[in-house]
Amino acid sequence: MTKIDLVLANAAGLHARPAAQFVQTAAGFMSKVTIRAGEKAADAKSILAVMGLGLGRGASFELTADGSDEAECIAVLQKLVTSNFGEG
């Protein structure tokens, strides 16, 4: 299992387009991927679960991947978040 802590810096947080990007990216991996923010946890491959966390700009969360491609999964999702989902 691989874990990393991340902070959302993009204006929209994990809502609408960024959440869809995140979920689509996570779904491309075999590993089980989970987002945990405070007491809430969500399956990172479920758009409803991710958006249900209500993570806005500045929110911190723990990203966990567990499976055969967990290291690559974490690296790709970390890059997506730190690049602000391609927003300017």
Q: Of 68, 69, 11, 59, which Cα lies nearest the Cα of 36?
A: 59
> Two tokens at 38?
């405070």
Taking the C-alpha atoms of residue 88 and residue 86, their distance in angstroms, rounded to an integer, is: 7
> Is 78 part of the annotated catalytic residue set?
no
Helices 70-82 & 16-27, crossing angle to 10 degrees?
Answer: 160
Taking the C-alpha atoms of residue 21 and residue 13, their distance in angstroms, rounded to an integer, is: 12
The residue from 10, 14, 15, 64 that is catalytic is: 15
Catalytic amino acids? 15
